[in-house]
Amino acid sequence: MNKLAWAALALSLAACSQPAADNASQAKAPPAAEVKSTATAGVYDLDKTHASVTFRVDHLGMSRYTARFTGIDGRLNFDPATPAAMSVEASVDTGSIKTDYPNPTPNFDAELAGPNWLDAARFPKITFKSTAVEPTGPNTAKVTGDFTLHGVTRPLVLAVTFNGGYDGAPMDPGSRIGFSAQGKLKRSDFGVSYGVPQPGSTFGVGDEVEIQIEAEFTKPKPAA
């Protein structure tokens, strides 16, 4: 097992059906290749210019409406020799939600940051603090943490993929590592129930929220 796999997403690879006359079996996906990394242990800070937090939620049963947050920060304690000992903390500015709503009126970003939804005035931060890291493959891990939204803290599991790293490059002398992560939550569990459809209906905004994260972390090169 690649010991760099603290933050790695367990990719759900569906096996393809094999046509056969008798006792047909599904073909298994090939094992994930080990990614390359020369990144060293230490505390890494989020590279905000190469990071994104987006979410998707069902809209009227017609589409998966997608929006994002721009005010994000994080810090990672990276230890390639002991993946289970790694830890991460992250925060999101609730009021930084961006929907790319094309019309200036109404202000849809302000509506979602308002009291009916995220209530950014009362709850300005969404936070995640890891409590356990469980490697699940060569480059993947299940990361469990305390997730706080709307003043409520509950466990959240992220499926994370380690994309690789390096310790210095010609145009980037520091250390850099990269990850992708996904998770799901029910917003009603955190007291955000406005617009959730009635049972048996899709007319409204879905309760389940899909979270997608892309993040690079950097550590400066030590002074000579």
Let me know if residue 208 belongs to a domain.
yes
Distance of CA 139 to the CA centre of its chain: 15
Distance between CA atoms of residues 123 and 43, nearest Å: 28
pLDDT band, residue 211 (cuts 50/70/90) = very high
Question: Is 3 a domain residue?
Answer: no
* Domain of residue 127, residue span: 42-219
Question: What is the rounded CA–CA span in Å between residue 82 and residue 84?
Answer: 6
Which sign does the torsion angle of CA 123, 131, 161, 177 carry?
positive
Q: Above 50 in pLDDT, residue 15? A: no
CATH number, domain containing residue 202? 2.40.128.110
Inter-residue contact 156 to 127 (CB < 8 Å): no
Mean pLDDT of all residues in 26-50? 82
Q: What is the predicted pLDDT for the residue at 218?
A: 98
The answer to whether residue 152 sits within a structural domain is: yes
User: Considering the domain boundaries, does residue 134 fall inside one?
Assistant: yes
DSSP E strand stretches across the chain: 42-59, 63-69, 72-78, 87-93, 97-98, 125-135, 140-149, 152-169, 172-186, 205-219
Residue 6 lies in a domain: no
Structure pTM? 0.84
Q: What is the pLDDT of residue 28?
A: 61
Asked if residue 86 belongs to a domain, the reply is yes
Q: Is residue 10 part of a domain?
A: no
Q: Are 57 and 209 in contact (CB under 8 A)?
A: yes
* Lowest mean pLDDT across 4-8, 70-74, 116-120, 198-202: 4-8
Which of the pair, 12 or 38, is modelled with greater confidence? 38
What is the count of structural domains for the chain? Answer: 1
Whether residue 224 is predicted with pLDDT greater than 70 in this model: the reply is: no
Instruction: Give the pLDDT score at 1.
Output: 36
What is the reported pLDDT for 11? 29
Query: Of the given ranges (27-36, 84-93, 102-111, 118-127), which has the lowest mean pLDDT?
Result: 27-36
The candidate with the shortest Cα–Cα distance to 130, out of 84, 175, 68, 184, is 84
Is residue 52, in this structure, part of any structural domain at all? yes
Q: What is the pLDDT of residue 31?
A: 58
